[in-house]
Amino acid sequence: MIEVRDLSKSYGPHLAVSRLDFQVAAGEIVGFLGPNGAGKTTTLKILAGSLAPSAGTARINGLDCVTDSLAVRRSLGYVPENVAIYPDLTVGQFLRFAARAKGVDAKAEKGEIERVLAACGLAEVRNKLVAALSKGFRQRLGLAQALLNHPPLLILDEPTIGLDPSQIVEIRQVIKNLETDHTVMLSSHILPEVSQLCHRVIIINRGQIVASDTPENLSRQMGRGSRVHMTVGGPADQVAPALQAVSGVSRVIGQGDGRYLVEADHGRELRPQLAQTVVARGWELLELKAQEFTLEEVFLDLVTEEPTEEES
């Protein structure tokens, strides 16, 4: 569906993205993550056909995003970070305008508008002025216009930005419902949402890809046995020091009720030694399991600092 090869973009002396290589398969929901100024929006604009790269190629369904720009745009729906919608139109009027701009057949226009109204939960506000809509409904409207004409690919730049927690859950469900019919590439700062929505994540920093895998695999690769949760039946004043004395343990955090979080040197697998330490002292080992890192922790580990100059 998406194929990016050696893609770069410069703004004067500032290199926003540098030699990106990645693919997105049909039917995937892929999260595109990175700190402010990392090059996310620049990359998405190139894919949407609204910005030309300085070098390299980006193709959607085999079509070049520069030389076949119009054909590319017909095959995708794009929701930028700040959706351009007309406040003096009603929801229905705006969608009619968007349908005609996208070349929806006149005979299919009414049915197509009804379809996206239902898909995005907008039927109840179809006659409201856009100016009177909440932020959540405006985001839904931006998504609805992107869905017009059944584009196989959706590109969503921060689709939940500025929303309250309940609105985020609503938009997340709308996006989740799209996965059977659409390929989705989205950027977001709300990492728990990405974990729940996306089949795979691409993490970018300073214009370069630093990781690409499923959230689960990234968590395992980062942890590799370096963090262990234990529940031990033994004297609290002795258990923590005994665990701390195991070679390779960097920290033991008591969590009460016999529960301990043991952190080891990166990449060390210490569960056998920890279990042996507990059993040798005659204590009860009630639980012992590796604790996976969250996507937020993976992100912070890979992206240690933000750029000093944000992308234009």
Residues in the chain, how many?
312
Q: What percent of the chain has pLDDT over 70?
A: 94
Q: 118: closest CA among 78, 91, 100?
A: 91
Q: Which helix (H) or strand (E) holds 241?
A: helix 236-244
Please indicate, yes or no, whether the overall pTM of this predicted structure exceeds 0.85.
no
pLDDT interval class at 275 (50, 70, 90): very high
Domains, the chain: 2-220 (3.40.50.300), 221-293 (3.30.70.100)
CA-CA distance, 239 to 284, in Å (whole number)?
11
pLDDT interval class at 222 (50, 70, 90): low
- Tell me the torsion sign for CA atoms 188, 178, 136, 114: positive
Segment 265-278 shows an average pLDDT of: 86
What tokens appear for 145 in the block?
A: 């216009």
Q: 49: closest CA among 71, 27, 32?
A: 71
Residue 310 in this model has a pLDDT that exceeds 70: no
Indicate the range of 140-144, 249-253, 300-304, 307-311 predicted with least confidence: 307-311
Q: Give the model confidence (pLDDT) of 87-120 as tens digits.
A: 999 999 999 999 999 999 999 999 999 999 998 9
pLDDT interval class at 291 (50, 70, 90): confident
Q: What is the four-CA torsion angle of 217, 221, 227, 230, rounded to 10 degrees?
A: 40
Model pLDDT, residue 311: 41
Residue 60 in this model has a pLDDT that exceeds 90: yes
CB atoms within 10 A of CB 141: 24
Q: What CA–CA distances, in Å, run from 262 to 50, 256, 300?
A: 49, 13, 20
Model pLDDT, residue 114: 96
CA-CA distance, 131 to 89, in Å (whole number)?
8
Q: Give the model confidence (pLDDT) of 138-183 as tens digits.
A: 989 999 999 999 999 999 998 887 778 887 888 888 888 887 788 9
Beta strands in 61-102 (DSSP E): 63-64, 76-79
